[in-house]
Amino acid sequence: MMATDKPEHTKPLKQPEIPVQPKRSPAGSDTVVLERRTAKVGPPQMYQVVMLNDDYTPMEFVVAVLQEFFNKDREAATQIMLKIHLDGKGVCGVFSRDVAATKVDQVLDAANQGGHPLQCVSEPVA
Ligand code: TYC
């Protein structure tokens, strides 16, 4: 079996990069130069929860999971389930890192409870 990376939600958070300012001491000058160091903080990285197809989990179970944990109505849940069934995978929603990790846990717990092999992962949105 191929070695796989750690699950995305267990990796440390990326810190904003603070540019390092060169230290300048002008020769023969007693002027003090104050340099502003600004952390450029962008919007937080978002994560999509992606559900994977398999041959065994009942369609109805997937629809119920999408309704319960992703707040989809029955029609939207059915569309997403069919997309996964046909394409092999599909996005259930986009969340902050912690919320996405919680959704993955909820889906996997429900699948285990029901005895289904349903799999789902979270991945950073480009
Ligand atoms: N392929 C499954 C079936 O035919 C249905 C299914 C859909 C399973 C989506 C998983 O994420 C999934 N019963």
Residue nearest to atom 7 of ligand 1 (CA): 85
Whether ligand 1 lies within 6 angstroms of the CB of 51 is answered as: yes
- Residue 27's pLDDT is 57
Report which of 35, 16, 32, 11 is spatially closest to residue 123, judged by C-alpha positions.
11
What is the rounded distance in angstroms from the CA atom of residue 76 to the CA atom of residue 65?
12
Q: How far is the CA of 79 from the centre of ligand 1 (A)?
A: 12
Structure tokens at 62: 């997937």
> 24 or 110, which is more confident?
110
59 lines ligand 1 (CB under 6 A): yes
Closest residue CA from atom 10 of ligand 1: 53
- What pTM, to 2 d.p., does this model score? 0.74
Please give the backbone phi and psi of residue 5, each rounded to the nearest 5 degrees, phi first.
-70, 165
56 SS3 class: coil
* Residues 25-40 pLDDT 10s: 455 567 776 666 777 7
